Structure 1
């Protein structure tokens, strides 16, 4: 928590977050041309933001791409700031979170449209089971129930409480409990094209790092990003406490 507020306390770092909000997946070269500071100065600010988990990076070839990670702010709101909504000190953080939307990426190289990352106090097996178990999804994935098997060539279907298909995902690759790659066909958006998303689980001492990458998302569907923030935040809370987040925190 201290690292988050330290990172947000500097106007240059907030400006970097604003730049990534406008166009995610930028390289150091992309960012340094936007600010009146040295390349080393931009790099130092990026390191502080990465230490606070407010950005995550991916490397493709010799290029390193930087992505805004909204999850730490969502988790701060859910677990600490939410009771203090009336206080001015909390309002600045909430206002910043409301801006964390992304524009389509302009890079031709196949990099994610956005990346979310969070640390969850659980085993890799428990996290994998929560991602693929039909009994688990209702606790964090917008009250849906998952049907199907997480195996290549199979299809996972997320059903709404009324039984309708909310989302279907064809499994491209599965390496339990480390990696799951699937298509993403949202039936709750009429005529929406299919895209692709990946779960990556890295075991740590007593915890797991969950990374969510989303690829090929059309410009008109960038709001999907906010949905992932809420899903991941609810998943973390449910696995760590056994209780889902209140519906009031779901942004609606």
Structure 2
């Protein structure tokens, strides 16, 4: 937590986060072009942000793309700020538009987020594969069902919310799923999600990459907000053993 506040204390680093909030996935060259600073100076500031977990990167070919990672900010808000504020009005969740058209691992994701979970690699893998675990941590879905490689999440009334179909996996380290929304009558096309898992001491570093959104993921809104709630619920349940459903604000205040 100290590294987060230290990173936010510098106005240049706050500006970099603002630039990524406006347009996620920018390269070093793109970010440098918006600041009156040398390439080396921007690299140093990005390094501090990465160390604090506020920025994560994805290398595609020769270029490294930088993404705002909202999880540490959300944790800081939950611990230090949220208890002192009146919660804001409900926000729209998971307003997605995307198209699945033969993307490869070398394509640039539209959204990237990372979090560290105090668990084992085996446990995290098993939970992400287990449709029964959804009932313990998902921020909207009440339960999940399986049909072969397809897992469908359901609303409390039983209506389908989202289907994920497993496309490929590297045991214990990588899995790739379709992302097929049902909440809007099928109006939103299918996209693609990749989970990357890497053990680090007592923790597992979970990286979420969302492809084919067809537009930017805006931090604090829509798909970006949904992923923060999903990851926070998953982390809380795995670390405490208590169900964690970090739903939309209207559900929390109701």
- The 1:172–1:246 alpha-carbon spacing in structure 2 relative to 1, beyond 3 Å, is closer
Q: Does the CA contact (< 8 Å) of 2:24 and 2:217 recur in 1?
A: no
Aligned to 2:118: 121
Question: For residues 76 and 46 of structure 1, what CA distance do their matches in structure 2 show?
Answer: 20
Report the CA distance between 1:171 and its aligned residue. Answer: 1.2
Question: For residues 236 and 20 of structure 1, what CA distance do their matches in structure 2 show?
Answer: 25
Aligned to 2:170: 175
Report the CA distance between 1:77 and its aligned residue. Answer: 2.6
Aligned to 1:81: 81
Secondary structure of 1:210's counterpart equals strand
Query: Does 1:226 find its partner at 2:225?
Result: yes
Report the CA distance between 1:121 and its aligned residue. Answer: 0.3
Secondary structure of 1:148's counterpart equals strand
Report the CA distance between 1:180 and its aligned residue. Answer: 1.1
How many pairs were matched up? 230
Report the CA distance between 1:126 and its aligned residue. Answer: 1.2
CA RMSD of aligned residues (A): 2.4
Q: Does the CA contact (< 8 Å) of 1:74 and 1:230 recur in 2?
A: no
Report the CA distance between 1:17 and its aligned residue. Answer: 0.7
TM-score, normalization by structure 1: 0.84
Q: Does the CA contact (< 8 Å) of 1:132 and 1:146 recur in 2?
A: no
Query: Does 1:145 find its partner at 2:140?
Result: no
Aligned to 1:30: 30
Q: Which has the higher contact order (CA 8 A, sep 6+)?
A: 2
TM-score, normalization by structure 2: 0.83
Question: For residues 27 and 144 of structure 1, what CA distance do their matches in structure 2 show?
Answer: 39
Give matches, 1:233-244, under 5 Å. Answer: 233-244=232-243
Uncovered stretches (5+) of structure 1, i.e. residues with no partner: 99-103
